Structure 1
Amino acid sequence: MLRIASKLSSIASSSSSALTANQFPTKLSPLPTSFFRPFTIGLELEDHMVVPDAIGMINYALKVWRTERSLGAFRMGLCVLKHCISTELTEGKDPKRENSKGMAMLAMSTILYERGEYTEAIEKIEDVQELTNSYLGVRVAALETQAGLYLELRQDDLAAAVADKCMKVVENQRQAKDFEVQAKDFEAHFLRAKALKGLIELVNGNVDSADDFFDKSHDDSKYWDGTAGLSYAEFLHKKQDYTKATEVYRSVVHGAVQIKRAGNPYLGAGNMSVDELIVGSMCALGQLEALTGNYYWAEHRLGQALSRAEEAYGDSKHPTLGVALASIALMYRRKAIQEHSSSLLIQEGLYRKVMDILKVPSEETKTEGAAPLVDRSDIAALARGAYAEVLSVQEDRKDEGEKLKNLAESIWKHRRMSLAEALETDTNIIDSRISRII
């Protein structure tokens, strides 16, 4: 806790980098040798499966956008990707060219998503399903991304429909003429599609139903990676199998970092991209460490999540940073309660920063035809409700605390529990990928 106390006076007004600078460990702790394995099953494309020049254009477009994140960089990135899709590099029915075209479409969807253009991001990845000669993993990644965006938009019925479609696409591959070529990866894609359905059940509070999609095949550790691995770890987390959940979370973290370092084309986009996977797995692992009382490691993991979010998005106002900061603040709340200690100043600084990032739009700002609003009000309300507790224990700020509590309750929209119940429930998980409380 002392590692960040010196920064408290400026935390509310400074960028989130002020919180992480020289405060959190940044290196991953080593896993036992038995954990290491290839983290590539169904998650990456190998060099022989793509057109190298097309991948070069994709990487350049993403770099231009992420370096500046300006309107000009946004337009330039999309322009490069549109050119990639329209050139001979991606024309024709050859699998390598269709794979490359699919990766360009996934990249376009990612840029649109990070810009906040959700409708356009979803439309772009819908086109990937036309690439019937592409690698199955490209089409699965597109459907997983589409479902993930719908979940973030709270359009759960649409997400469920896409997950069903994903299952059918994978199952239909059994009938494909070239199935034998892809059979070694088929089980990984099938597992990924099932895990997507399991995630939707978790979001809707159906932990028992989710069990149908996380069967004994997950006991094979070679599948403890990617978005499927993260959803499986969250399932174990909710089932209170904390030892195994910790193992799977750690496996996902290490696998995602290795994939990122390798630099091969990753089969994911939008809120299911490798960057979101890294942040999400670190964030969830940190929450579990806090739940089990390992506060040093909770601070370590959540600090890593925040640092990775800053590295990926370079924006002190990006919502993913707000979600990571909310997880850190709630970790300190849990620590203070368990140890009967006080960290009011630390918590207040963090809550104020979260509230600044995760502003809840007023009804007046919602206009017909406007871009879809991503409703992160539950996470914002949770931070406000916890902040209200901090204020209420201070005699001269009780009235302020009561007003903030009422505001938090007014924006809370969770269907299965009240705000008070959420604050008292130990096993809730903030999934930073979809900005939802599970």
Structure 2
Amino acid sequence: MNPIRSALARALRSPKPGRPLHRHYGTAAAAGATQPESVAAEMVRYALGGARPGSSPEEAMRILEQGASNLQGGGEGCAEAVGMLMLAMSTLLYRSGRHQEAMEKLKATNQVAPTAFRAWEATMGLCMEASQDINTSVSPDDLVDTSIKEDSIKWSDQDHLKFRVTAIKGLIALLNGDAESAQLFFDGCKDLCSGEGNERTENAALSYGEYLHSVGNFPLATQMYKRVLEALSMEDKSGSFLAACNMVPEEVSLGATCSYGQLLSHSGKFTEAEDYLTRALKMAEEQFGANHPKVGIVLTCVARVYKLKARSEGSSSIMVQEGLYRKALEVLKAPAIKSEGVSKQMDWRDIISLARGEYADLLLIQSNRKAEGERMKEWAEHAWRNSRLTLAQALDFSEPSKPIVVDTRIGRIL
């Protein structure tokens, strides 16, 4: 059967629900969804969920595009449905490594007011991943077409959306090295976080947890990480269609697992840390494939656990660490030390610089490889672009209360 007809048939088997309570920002395919939203949800589930083994990204994109074309300009619920499909298209493009096209698809989504907030969140995520200059004055309202703006529910009128917006802005400020603004934004998350309920705010809670982690508030950061992991373990992520690119629930789950593993290592709980990071590595491989850069990001975190453990216990695991850093750099497709790649736009610059800096430290303590270590360290220092910390500070384990945190969603160091 044609995939779109199959999705439609499944949706029509359920009774037609009533009008959603939060029409413009409600959870897709939830109780109260309109029939067009249910149809779109089935298409998204089919396209992104691998409903048919061996189906290609091109086929999945055709399904989404045809669905959006069929629903365009319809009645109640059609705008929401089209928005869901467009967010799914951007996610598919992102997963395929076509990040610029994903960004363009998100920009086009601003014509669909119900999903403008989600498009804004995903756009900010892609900009942060690409190390683009962005400031904290940007607002979800900036994306909504003025001709349809009055018909939308403003994000500022809903606490769970305020929480998500505030957390994104805090994350931007942290990456920009603006600690004062970051603190103001994240301090504002406290009250919003306490009433988050079941409103898909795990992404915001993860960002808040990472901020707390980076400033040494381990007890509260632990609460945030555990809250995210518990919520996502109980949640049917297959219905979470109003998210896109690196902000989808699967990315949040991976990010929380990896960040909590890092926190455990910073707390000296190395066995538990290895357990969580092993889980994160498996998740990254299952979601993206064994040779995807996200796998290299997690491998870098695993190597850092071994390095911190060795320093803490006065032991040595040089061969294990070196193998992990070498593999991470290979998967991240790090440019050769003698190449000019460092002076050009480089993907995953934060992580590659960190991994090379850590690797260099291992070589510098070996007399027969010191020269190699010096060259690698020089490269890493030249490539480093973090606004908050110098590379030396990032490599310094002497102050465990002020650790760096690797965010796997955006591939950046906080």
TM-score range, shorter chain: 0.7 to 0.9
Deviation at 1:154, TM superposition (A): 0.9
Correspondence for 2:396 among 424, 433, 436:
424
Change (3 A) 1:365 1:201: closer
Task: Look up the equivalent residue of 1:312 and give its one-letter code.
Answer: Q
Deviation at 1:43, TM superposition (A): 5.8
User: Within 2, Cα distance between the matches of 1:42 and 1:188?
Assistant: 11
Residue 156 in 1 paired to residue 133 in 2? Answer: yes
Deviation at 1:67, TM superposition (A): 5.9
Residue 282 in 1 paired to residue 222 in 2? Answer: no
Change (3 A) 1:183 1:219: closer
Change (3 A) 1:131 1:304: same
Task: Look up the equivalent residue of 1:122 and give its one-letter code.
Answer: M
Please tell me whether the aligned partners of residues 254 and 408 of structure 2 are also in contact (alpha carbons under 8 angstroms). Answer: yes
- Give the CA RMSD over aligned residues: 3.0
Task: Look up the equivalent residue of 1:282 and give its one-letter code.
Answer: T
What TM-score do you get using the length of structure 2 for normalisation?
A: 0.82
Q: Which has the higher contact order (CA 8 A, sep 6+)?
A: 1
**Who is 1:356 aligned against?**
330
Deviation at 1:365, TM superposition (A): 7.5
User: Within 2, Cα distance between the matches of 1:237 and 1:398?
Assistant: 34
**Who is 2:246 aligned against?**
271
User: Within 1, Cα distance between the matches of 2:334 and 2:361?
Assistant: 20
**Who is 1:30 aligned against?**
none
3-state SS in 2 of match to 1:48 = coil
Q: Percent identity?
A: 35
User: Within 2, Cα distance between the matches of 1:389 and 1:183?
Assistant: 47
User: Within 2, Cα distance between the matches of 1:354 and 1:397?
Assistant: 20
Deviation at 1:48, TM superposition (A): 3.0
User: Within 2, Cα distance between the matches of 1:349 and 1:201?
Assistant: 34
Q: How does 1:249-328 map to 2 (within 5 A)?
A: 249-259=225-235, 261=236, 263-313=238-288, 315-328=289-302
Please tell me whether the aligned partners of residues 378 and 437 of structure 1 are also in contact (alpha carbons under 8 angstroms). Answer: yes
How many residue pairs were aligned?
374
**Who is 2:202 aligned against?**
226
Q: Can you list the C-alpha shifts for 1:297-350, whole angstroms capped at 9, x where unaligned?
A: 21111111111111211x111111111111111111111111111111211111
Task: Look up the equivalent residue of 2:102 and give its one-letter code.
Answer: A
* Deviation beyond 4 Å, 4+ runs, structure 1: 41-45, 64-68, 167-170, 175-179, 182-185, 361-366
Residue 115 in 1 paired to residue 102 in 2? Answer: no
User: Within 1, Cα distance between the matches of 2:82 and 2:124?
Assistant: 21
Task: Look up the equivalent residue of 2:87 and give its one-letter code.
Answer: L
Correspondence for 1:202 among 165, 174, 178:
174
Deviation at 1:359, TM superposition (A): 2.0
Please tell me whether the aligned partners of residues 167 and 194 of structure 1 are also in contact (alpha carbons under 8 angstroms). Answer: no
Please tell me whether the aligned partners of residues 378 and 412 of structure 1 are also in contact (alpha carbons under 8 angstroms). Answer: yes
Deviation at 1:432, TM superposition (A): 0.9
What TM-score do you get using the length of structure 1 for normalisation?
A: 0.77
**Who is 1:46 aligned against?**
30
Change (3 A) 1:303 1:253: same
Correspondence for 1:60 among 40, 46, 57:
46
User: Within 2, Cα distance between the matches of 1:310 and 1:325?
Assistant: 11
Change (3 A) 1:178 1:268: closer
3-state SS in 2 of match to 1:240 = coil
Q: How does 1:130-145 map to 2 (within 5 A)?
A: 130-132=111-113, 134=114, 138-145=115-122
Deviation at 1:65, TM superposition (A): 9.9
Correspondence for 1:338 among 307, 312, 316:
312
**Who is 2:59 aligned against?**
76
For structure 2, list consecutive stretches of 5 or more residues without a partner in the other structure. 1-24
Please tell me whether the aligned partners of residues 167 and 193 of structure 1 are also in contact (alpha carbons under 8 angstroms). Answer: no
User: Within 1, Cα distance between the matches of 2:176 and 2:161?
Assistant: 23
